[in-house]
Amino acid sequence: MESLREEVLSGAVGGVARPGVDTRLTHGGRDPASFHGLVNIPACRGSTIVAPSLDEWDARKRPGNPMASYGRFGSPLSRAFEQTVADLEGGHAAIVFPSGLAACTHALLSLVRPGDHLLVTDSVYGPVRSFALGVLQRLGVEVEFYDPRIGGDIRTRLRQNTRVVYVESPGSITFEMQDIAAIAQEAHRVDAFVVMDNTWATPLFFRPFEHGVDVSIQAATKYIVGHSDALLGVATANQATWDLLRQGAHDFGQTAGPDDLYLALRGLRSLGVRLRRHQAGALEVAQWLSDHPAVARVMHPALPGDPGHALWRRDYLGASGLFAVALRPVPTAQLRCFFDRLQLFGLGLSWGGYESLVLPVDPPARVCAPSLPGPLVRIHVGLEDPADLIADLDQALKAMRGLVPCARGQVV
């Protein structure tokens, strides 16, 4: 397995030499000769794009989009970013959106029609769940949630009018792994599309199209941008699905601002280095937490004791910095003490940036929700020294358990 991972990450698969992933991250989309030697593509700000002649104007038209020569339909910067992401994902082409949620919702809107049946993993990202129930059902799409551990047995849920199977692995909040290849194989038997949220692993640690995915989505806000200073989403499609995805984005007028695109393309350059650091730090912190008396369960698929570990070992090339823990039952006041004592972990939404975060999470409103013994806490391990993060968690957990005063002090 380790030799296979090294082979895939180096890009030399099946005896065909290809630049390694870090080389592609460093050089993807760059064209200094077209920008006066500048290493980075400048932020392209513009709406109107004029043509010097009518012949040139006609030559710019695209099938199905006679108004292609306009800022909303892309710039050298957006195309460089999209091409780089599509290459990393192993897909045909990609398109950007102004947020990760916009990429999720518009990918679905581009594929479903009134009367269709949509299968969604029960562990889906909460806002996507709300969109499916509140918007797609109103538009005449029947939405059904399935157990994320279903694997090939999803055949029992598929119908002739099943249009999309939506997967997310590991699942949001509770981190269940899914057998994407088995689900895709069954979905394709009824000509259903498989749409995946691949934000947690990124294409560096999971290659969605090699497992049968038709559209792969990433909240580029997270690991791609990497610095918590821009909002962006991106969806990549295989060739068979690309025209539907592209047309759906254009029909809804979706686009992304040049500054966010610039930051995202810049973030890609260091993605490999950052992800490896996030992975190592998170595993060290998660392992420490798994032995702590205040912790009932750690939900991290890269840990050997996790229920999804075998699937992770089989299909994934690595793990990111996001996981969750279920604490043992404590009164609310003591739980509040834990969060208030933390100094290196910010209390906030999102993840994937360089900084460490924690978030108290309510038990998910799900059909197949797992039984949790106590409060659920989502943790993102950033780029800090893991020993410092462990010390911070240790003193906060001691305060929660009443072993030290609850008032905030220095990390020891």
Catalytic residues: 72, 125, 197, 222
Inter-residue contact 125 to 104 (CB < 8 Å): yes
| Distance of alpha carbon 363 from the chain centroid | 21
CA distance 137 to 115: 10
CA distance 105 to 259: 23
Q: What is the CB neighbour count within 10 angstroms for residue 412?
A: 9
CA distance 84 to 29: 6
The closest of 220, 312, 320 to 272, measured between CA atoms, is 320
Omega of the bond leading into 170 within 30 degrees of 0 (cis): yes
